[in-house]
Chains A and B, each alone.
Chain A
Amino acid sequence: MDRTLDRLWAGAEPRPGWKVSVTPDAAESEAGSADLTAASDPDLVSACLAGRREAFDVIVERHQRQVYHLCYRFVGNHEEASDLAQDVFLRSYRALGGFKGTSAFATWLYRIGVNVCLNRMSAKGKTPRLGTLETVDPVDTRAERADARLLRGERAAEVRAAIAQLPNKQRATLILRVYHELPHEQIAGILGSSVGAVKANFFHALANLRKRLQPDASSPS
């Protein structure tokens, strides 16, 4: 059938007034998307700046988890975290022309994320609004007793509230180090600090956290 149609099209002559246009077929579009999926972050940025908006979709899919969890650590509930994460991506899209490639794209994106979160915290107050347990608990609770689970949840809430009271840089440093497991050097790039300052902030964050969680115990600071 396809060969029949090909011969028919090959034999067809355009009539006056006909307008011939070429559109990529589905296979070609999929091939284009496939090369974006495998592209590096700087290549995706270049593609986006060249007009291929779908390149930014790949960036979002690649980094959405990290951005969402970063925002969640600051605001403490799913609804605000997803709004904030969307805001982070929108701002990064608008500022895409300013990405020079001197740092890794993830570092650049984290920097925007931390600034957006800290600005939101300044506007709304530091204490996060803790969400309900409507999302999936990452810990396998099937073997856990109900009372143990309750205690764990209560303690986690205390920890979260204590972290929320930390000064901004200490809080950001602790979140990036403990929950995103970023190396100190990358955290320094995100926060615009030296590695020594990052480690000092981390020390004070842990010391202050200890003080808030166990006020009667001795504290390193």
Chain B
Amino acid sequence: MKHLTDIEFVNLVDGGEGLAADRRRHLETCESCNRHAEALRDALREAQIDRAPEPSPLFWTYFSARVSDAIRHETPVAAFSVGGWRRHPFAEWAIAASIAVVVMVAVVWRATLHAPMPGALSATVTTVSPAPQAADASNAQPAADDVEADEAWAVVRSAAEGLRWEDAHAIGISAGPGAAEGLALELTADERAELARLLDGEMKRSGA
């Protein structure tokens, strides 16, 4: 007959469901299982020796006041939490749509304000576009404009500033596989050039 399993040992030592009748019969005759069960009981008794010291009764009053004070400085959960937003039926779509609109407006605005960079596109564009017209990875990269001074990009950054990745991901704003490439393929050449320039500048700014 098979020895007791891990779960059966726990049921035996730690209470709970107990053992089936045939397993109890095995235990009555199996010295190895009895030895193991006793070892587990010893370990349990040892663990139970360590009783955590109880803080002073005054501590609890102080602690709850301390937490209450910390909460007071938090944004009220009902007003601004993403959890609160999620209760609204269209909130998730509204957030996703507004961020998408802001990004596209920024890209189009930049493309219409500035002429596209002639000739040398960065290596980033060559990985996004399958057949860039004037791509020449061997050319030196053009000097990027100061992205910090770019108003459109500032709009995009400020819109996304308060949004944590975890919150965005929790409400469904996340890129699926191939999403970035798919979106880039739908852009015009001017828009792709502009996107590449913005990404380049952002990477340089963050030191990547």
Contacts and interface: CB of A to CB of B under 8 A. Distances in A.
Interface in B69-118: 70-72, 74, 76-79, 81-84, 86-87
A53 interface: yes
A32 interface: no
A207 interface: yes
A1 to B, nearest CB: 36
B10 A203 contact: yes
Contacts of A218: 35, 39
Interface string B7-41: 10111011010000000000000000001100110
Given A51-B78, A199-B11, A64 B53 contact: no
B51 A57 contact: no
Contact of A156 (B10, B11, B50): B50
B49 A220 contact: no
Contacts of B35: 218
Given A97-B86, A210-B42, A217-B39, A60 B7 contact: no
Contact of A49 (B13, B39, B66, B84): B84
Interface string A151-162: 010011001100
Interface string B147-168: 0000000000000000000000
Contacts of A135: 53-56
A163 B170 CA distance: 34
A202 B78 contact: no
Nearest to A208: B43
Given A86-B63, A210-B39, A210-B43, A138 B77 contact: no
A185 B108 CA distance: 55
Interface residues of A, number: 60
B83 A97 contact: yes
B133 interface: no
B39 A65 contact: no
A75 B49 CA distance: 18
B63 A96 contact: no
B18 to A, nearest CB: 13
Contacts of B140: none
A50 B84 CA distance: 10
A68 B74 contact: no
Nearest to A206: B43
Contact of B78 (A50, A89, A196, A206): A50
Contacts of A60: 63-64, 67-68
B68 to A, nearest CB: 5
B51 A139 contact: yes
B77 to A, nearest CB: 5
Interface of B: 6-7, 9-11, 13-14, 16, 35-36, 39-40, 42-44, 46-56, 59-60, 63-64, 66-68, 70-72, 74, 76-79, 81-84, 86-87, 170
9 contacts: A51-B76, A56-B68, A64-B64, A94-B81, A96-B77, A160-B50, A199-B16, A203-B9, A209-B43
Given A137-B53, A138-B52, 12 more contacts: A53-B71, A64-B67, A69-B52, A90-B70, A93-B77, A94-B77, A97-B78, A97-B83, A98-B83, A135-B56, A156-B50, A209-B46
